Every structure is written in structure tokens, then in C-alpha cells.
Chain A
Amino acid sequence: MKCCKASGSVLGGIGLIAVLAFTLAWLFASLIDTTWIFGVDMLSDLGVSDTDAKYFFNYGCMIAGLLILIFGAYGTALNESVGHQIASILLIFAGIMLMGIGLFPENTDYHTPIGYALIVFTFCSMISMTASDWRLGHLVPGGVAVVLIVVVLWYVAFEPVGAMVETVAVICGLIWLAVQGCKFILE
């Protein structure tokens, strides 16, 4: 990393705040909209809720997306490894897509392609970062990412595509981002 320890801490902190922002938005939205059921309803249903949950969810997505975009951009500037840089660039696109999820809720035409793009960008970023972590000898964050990738692939392969798969993928993505944040702070 072409930076001092403080830069790494800032980068990791941005990642952790992004995870916290999305988790809190999801938590408050699901607490407000009591008709939403974990693992049964799609996450995006919160964005078109009849209650104030839609504001929490949509603004939460936009804030978290912006933070992920900054995390990706800052990571691209700070990291020297090509794998890390590719992963960071993909995270920039993932951040833009997450902002798009908040801007274009489920009842618009753009929502579904943006949702798929978000998953693809995040998953490719995970793979690129994991390969790079492995090469650089960061085996614990790389190993956690391997576990998360296998769990996501398992659910995609053996569960019908729906709310549960989406929920597991999002939780795995959040855990991965949190681990990456901790990695940059401790590095």
C-alpha cells in the first residue's frame, strides 16, 4: 500500500461506516414496516413500502452507496496491487449501483438490471480482492472471503432464486466489506 497507516485506517473506517449505514437503514426500515418478513420478502420491497420505511431504506442505500464509491476510489488510489486496484474499481461501480437502488425503487423499470449489476460487480470485486489477498499472504481476510463466496455460490446453486438468496448474498457482501475494512485498519 502506497500510504501511511493513517490512510489505511481512514480507508478501512469508510468501509466500516458504509456497512454500518446500510445495516442500520435495513434494521430501522424492517422495524418500521412490520409486514416485511426476513428471508421471505425481497429486500427491495422495503424501498416501496407504504410506511416511512421506504425513506430509511432508499436514503440508506444512497448513503451506503456513496461511501462504497469513496471506499473504492480511495482504495484505487492507495493500493499498489493490481488485484486490489481492479477490486476497488469494481467497488466504485458497485457503489454507483447501490445508489441507483435507492434512487430507482422496485416500481421503476431500472431497478432490476441495477440490482443484478450490483451483485455482479460486488461478486467480481470479492473474487479479485481474494485472489490478490492470497497472493500477498493476507490469508485470513482471503480465507473469510473464500467462505463467503462458497456460501453465496451454494445458495445460488441449490436454493430457488428469491428473497433468501438475495438476503444471504447481501449479508455475505456486508461481512466481506467489514472484514476488508478491518484489514485496512490493522494493516
Chain B
Amino acid sequence: MSERPGKVIITSALAIIGGILTIASMAMYFNPSDEKVLTEVGLALLIAVLFFAVGGTMYRNGQSSWKSTVFLCFVNVAIIACDVLYKTMNQNFGVVLFLLALFVALLTACPSTAKWIAADRA
């Protein structure tokens, strides 16, 4: 068992920060009188779950394979993009989260991350 590489630590930290930011933005901009409130809350929770799932994969005893994790990352990017385009999320927060998710996806897709997940994670 080897130490977690810096790239993996950064990826997991960014993913967890992304999840926290998503829930924070949902709480800050919650408006119960909005007719799309259920969509806003549901999508924000889905994005947060995906961020935390990716963050959790980067720890020892994480369970998803590398390809599944990258897939989750890109699905997360897609959902954030839809959320911003559909205007069910604060646009400024949405852009920040989109860039964060994209960065996490690219870091996760790196071969060194793949090597750590496949060989050294367990």
C-alpha cells in the first residue's frame, strides 16, 4: 500500500469542496415560492451526491473502478451544464461548479490517477 499521490489528494479535496459548495448554494438561493423549486433542490442534491461519490473513490477502500469514476465525473459536468442552461441554479455558482467539475473530471482521467486506483488504492 502506497501513500496517496498529490494529484489524487487534490482531486478528492476539490470534489468534496464541490459537494459542499453545491449544498451551500442550494441553501443560499432556496426560494420555496419558485415553481421550479423541486427541480432546483433535486438537481443540486444529485450534483452534490456525484461530487461526494467521486471524492470518496479517491480514498483507500473506495469501490468504483477508474472508468466508472470518470464516467460519474462527466455525468456530473453534464448535469451542472444542464442546470445552468435551464436556469435552475444560480448562474455564477453554476459556472464555478462547472469549472470545478470539469477540473475534477480531467484530473480523474489522468493515467496516474488510473494507476493509483487500479494498483495501489486497496
Nearest CB on A from B113, distance (A): 10
Q: Which residues of B contact A147 (CB under 8 A)?
A: 74-75, 77-78, 81
- A interface size (C-beta, 8 A): 14
Q: Which residues of B contact A146 (CB under 8 A)?
A: 71, 74-75, 78
**Chain B interface, >50% SS class:** helix
| Interface pair B67/A150, CB less than 8 Å apart | no
Q: CB-CB contacts of A120-157 with B at 8 A, as 1s and 0s?
A: 00000000000000100001101110111111001000
| Interface pair A139/B109, CB less than 8 Å apart | yes
The answer to whether B99 has its CB under 8 Å from any CB of chain A is no
Q: How far is the CA of A149 from the CA of B81 in the complex (A)?
A: 12
The residue that B81 contacts in the complex, of A140, A143, A151, A158, with Cβ under 8 A, is: A151
| Interface pair A154/B105, CB less than 8 Å apart | no
Q: How far is the CA of A23 from the CA of B77 in the complex (A)?
A: 25
| Interface pair B78/A151, CB less than 8 Å apart | yes
- B interface size (C-beta, 8 A): 16
The residue that A143 contacts in the complex, of B73, B82, B85, B86, with Cβ under 8 A, is: B73
Q: Which residues of B contact A140 (CB under 8 A)?
A: 106, 109
The answer to whether B70 has its CB under 8 Å from any CB of chain A is yes
**Chain A interface, >50% SS class:** helix
Q: Which residues of A contact B13 (CB under 8 A)?
A: none
Q: How far is the CA of A178 from the CA of B75 in the complex (A)?
A: 20
Nearest CB on B from A1, distance (A): 19
Q: Which residues of A contact B70 (CB under 8 A)?
A: 139, 143
Closest Cβ neighbor of A147 among chain B residues:
B78
Q: How far is the CA of A151 from the CA of B82 in the complex (A)?
A: 6
Closest Cβ neighbor of B105 among chain A residues:
A143
Q: Which residues of A contact B79 (CB under 8 A)?
A: 150
Q: Which residues of A contact B67 (CB under 8 A)?
A: 134, 139
The residue that B75 contacts in the complex, of A134, A139, A150, A158, with Cβ under 8 A, is: A150
Closest Cβ neighbor of A145 among chain B residues:
B74
Q: How far is the CA of A139 from the CA of B70 in the complex (A)?
A: 7
Q: CB-CB contacts of B41-60 with A at 8 A, as 1s and 0s?
A: 00000000000000000000
Closest Cβ neighbor of B82 among chain A residues:
A154
Nearest CB on B from A158, distance (A): 7
Nearest CB on B from A182, distance (A): 15
Q: How far is the CA of A142 from the CA of B109 in the complex (A)?
A: 11
CB within 8 Å of B: which residues of A?
134, 139-140, 142-144, 146-151, 154, 158
What 9 pairs between A and B have smallest CB-CB spacing? Answer: A150-B78, A143-B74, A147-B78, A154-B82, A146-B74, A139-B109, A139-B70, A147-B77, A140-B109
